[in-house]
Structure 1
């Protein structure tokens, strides 16, 4: 938190609602099959919401298993969560086994080379340290092939050197419930893991939670849904928004009919316009592709419940908005415009920018004043 004087030094503010994140986690947890644990994926600074703050709020609410992408992220979670199990999704980087073990962290081993290095370290310390095994069921990124997994599990010296605490895979098309690849991956995962009933299993990300109990297994790993994002493309989003971006109006100006607005003159005033210039841009996570042209509209902000369409290109530090039809008392220098939040869903912005809400959330607020409070 910053004081009122320093608040004026920022072009905008990013408000994170930790209670909404916790509510989303509980909503997902209540959807799970009996016996399935709801973990939390907190990589990429907890999708832009603050890694340590978000993880601690979830831990205090009862979450005990966390997933990050990188070892450096995992190291930030070692304080204040003594019972937490922390998995590193990107696996075992060369030479990092000792550091992970010292901090009680668990790599997600996705290649034979990683497994051999982890097993060698465990034999050296004469302790069967825990780790997860990542199997590839069709996304073809990280993960052991079926043949590699079978060979590893049959190598008593290799698999006997450490303690596999989880077998996991990742859905490629979970956001589309009707896609046949979901059932294909489920069948492959069941076939690969069936011989090992005593090792917990995990297949579902956020989308997998909504695909039904067949996908839940022992643990689910929601990410985007925790942060209010839309996990299923073809259904309404039931999650609460958790972040709000408000940008400061720097000036209000008139633009005559026929004049152009912004870089490259992509937008022409079709009538006399009143334009607000706000202190936010693509350097703050307001993606440039969401700008407007004469051929296609762009995204929008909201001022006092009124939609304010973006006019022209989004610049590094500023955005121009059409406020012609908004009451003048709402549009004044120093006032704030909601650019993302309860009235401007990240998934809606993403549609204009031809991207996904993940990109918006993980890019937000490098220069905004960040605060933790309710946005309801």
Structure 2
């Protein structure tokens, strides 16, 4: 007999669950805002779909917490955010793509202009419209990505053809080594940013990312734009992370099996059982953002999961759809078919897992949960 097809996917149809705590994101913004000195404003970087947490949910949560200025990467992100937050100030960090200038005032968006060519395009738009549309200007202080060379900033801002038709609403630069506060590059960039922008101190200035906020008042200027810290990531490598975790990944156990000493596990036979083992195979893999580089071999240990307070090391390579865990020392009642294990979250910090994958927590957060059930709820 035929059965009806459910209109909504049941939780039982997903191999994993991604839980995101919006209250924790809001609390992290409030914490960083409380670190600011003077009248500095705390904005939020929300690019990469809110660092993987969902821009459509994270944006309103941050706005409700008090954040009124946001930074996206590309125009498409910005227009989607504008539909959610009609009163917010929204900057686009990647600036002006050729032919896109008219898009910005139509959606009340502000490009971050990073070259003479972009300044020319924006000025031409303002001239043709007879209006001074708002935009930021980016000056490069040493990261050698986007931004006007420091020596060109003064000439550009003083050129009536480039900046006569509009007054920049913000001057920004970006720290290259903020995750390591003792790195000499931080003080070098701070000094250069202060020097090149001092003649334009009537224009608001912004240098600090998440790390810059935590490094102290000298980096704050008029506006800070934290990103990774809002989403629970570790902004400074050399200090304990003060931020609340906001995401938890749980994967479902598909089966538990015994592995004899001397047998190999996974693709490439890279991991050999050094004792009789009990394996749990879970329904998550690199297609879900669990990075392949965190796998284990006989020469190099990989990452781990947590099951009821017990550590379960990854065994062998991480494959597209599954990961094998060593649950030999985990009580049997915790590793039953269908049970969930924590792959990332309060007990498995994204930064710690990223170290095994030789990457950073940014990559994990922005890659997570393509096939997971997504739940917005407090982390437990």
Q: Which band: TM-score by shorter chain? A: over 0.9
Say whether 1:208 aligns with 2:243. no
Say whether 1:311 aligns with 2:315. yes
Q: In the alignment, what sits opposite 1:25?
A: 29
CA separation in 1, counterparts of 2:218 and 2:358? 32
1:197 to 192, 198, 201: 201
In the TM superposition, residue 147 of structure 1 has moved relative to its aligned partner by 2.3
CA separation in 1, counterparts of 2:23 and 2:274? 44
CA separation in 1, counterparts of 2:358 and 2:260? 30
Q: In the alignment, what sits opposite 1:321?
A: 325
1:272 to 252, 270, 276: 276
- CA deviation string 1:222-274 (max 9, x = no partner): 00000100011110000000000000000001101100000000110011111
In the TM superposition, residue 82 of structure 1 has moved relative to its aligned partner by 2.4
Q: Could you tell me whether the CA contact under 8 Å between 1:265 and 1:312 is conserved in 2?
A: yes
In the TM superposition, residue 156 of structure 1 has moved relative to its aligned partner by 2.1
Say whether 1:368 aligns with 2:372. yes
Q: In the alignment, what sits opposite 2:341?
A: 337
SS at match of 2:302: coil
Equivalences for 1:97-112 in 2 at 5 Å?
A: 97-112=101-116
TM-score normalised by L of structure 1: 0.98
CA separation in 1, counterparts of 2:81 and 2:225? 17
SS at match of 1:195: helix
CA separation in 2, counterparts of 1:292 and 1:274? 16
In the TM superposition, residue 47 of structure 1 has moved relative to its aligned partner by 0.5
Aligned residue pair count: 375
CA separation in 2, counterparts of 1:157 and 1:142? 21
CA separation of 1:157 and 1:4: change in aligned 2, threshold 3 A: closer
Say whether 1:250 aligns with 2:219. no
SS at match of 1:164: coil
Runs of 5+ in structure 1 lacking a partner?
A: none
2:15 to 11, 30, 37: 11
In the TM superposition, residue 80 of structure 1 has moved relative to its aligned partner by 3.4
In the TM superposition, residue 20 of structure 1 has moved relative to its aligned partner by 0.2
In the TM superposition, residue 211 of structure 1 has moved relative to its aligned partner by 1.2
Q: Could you tell me whether the CA contact under 8 Å between 2:56 and 2:84 is conserved in 1?
A: no
- CA deviation string 1:324-354 (max 9, x = no partner): 1111011011000000000000000011011
Q: In the alignment, what sits opposite 2:3?
A: none
Say whether 1:232 aligns with 2:231. no
CA separation in 1, counterparts of 2:213 and 2:7? 41
CA separation in 1, counterparts of 2:23 and 2:7? 23
CA separation in 1, counterparts of 2:145 and 2:246? 30
2:76 to 53, 72, 75: 72
Q: Could you tell me whether the CA contact under 8 Å between 1:257 and 1:273 is conserved in 2?
A: yes
Runs of 5+ in structure 2 lacking a partner?
A: 1-5
In the TM superposition, residue 61 of structure 1 has moved relative to its aligned partner by 1.1
RMSD: 1.2
Q: Could you tell me whether the CA contact under 8 Å between 1:298 and 1:352 is conserved in 2?
A: yes
Q: Could you tell me whether the CA contact under 8 Å between 1:310 and 1:320 is conserved in 2?
A: yes
Q: In the alignment, what sits opposite 1:145?
A: 149
SS at match of 1:184: helix
